[in-house]
Structure 1
Amino acid sequence: MKETINKSLQSAGISQDTVKKWSSSGIPSQERTAQQATSGAMLAATAEQTYKEAGQSLQRVEKILDATKNSKDIKESIDNNTRMLAELSIQLAKSLEIASIEAVYNGQGGVISAAERAEERKFFTFGNN
């Protein structure tokens, strides 16, 4: 996942070193940009990993379906259905994971936008609220 995070940052023309400098710069706008870059890269990496895992999961589902079709008795069929339920539960958990990470990213984006608007307002009102 670390490699994917680096690729994501590099595709935007940012290095991890730059993000580290920004995050500890003491300059609010740079710190917010670092936070947003890190969150976005993490979301992209998680999405890529989840995509790969979903493909693998679908292959397992196909194998379970084939095994169910060729079940010799009811016990074997029930066992395969149990495996299928477990596999689908894993897929659901992964979907919830990616949705949660996306929600965090969007929430942080909202906070960052609000902070930027407050900073702009402060600038345009010369510090008068």
Structure 2
Amino acid sequence: MISQVLFVLVFGHLLTFGSNKHGQLGVGDYRKRLHLVKIGGELTGKQVLNVACGDGYTVAATSDNEVYSWGNGENGRLGAKYDGKGPNSMCTAYPRPVFGSLHDVPNLAARHWHTIIIAEKVLNQKTIRGRISSPSCK
């Protein structure tokens, strides 16, 4: 089955379907979806402009210059620190904001473990420190 497929609708809402093994659909659980479902959580009411899918994770940029990530956080691919406890401790099944606010995010890309975000400037920078690479996401 396909890992994840996302569609950005004209008003910036996200629809998705796929395997969801790592929470990469962003719907709050790890169950596969065979039909389109809407992504909510912290993205509710926000206009998504760009979205990219990596290896079991997803990133999205909104019109209010925020970047969100969800899914498999192994090796730091979500840009967030994890405590490394529990079977899904490296995963998040809901969109979570990462970084500070970015001014003008015209594009972002994700492939395998890497994400590239193009932004004019960082408005409120946060630095990620600590252990972020193990255990693995189940």
Does TM, scored on the shorter chain, surpass 0.5?
no
Structure of larger gyration radius? 1
The TM-score, its normalising length taken from structure 1, stands at 0.21
Higher-helix-fraction structure: 1
The TM-score, its normalising length taken from structure 2, stands at 0.20
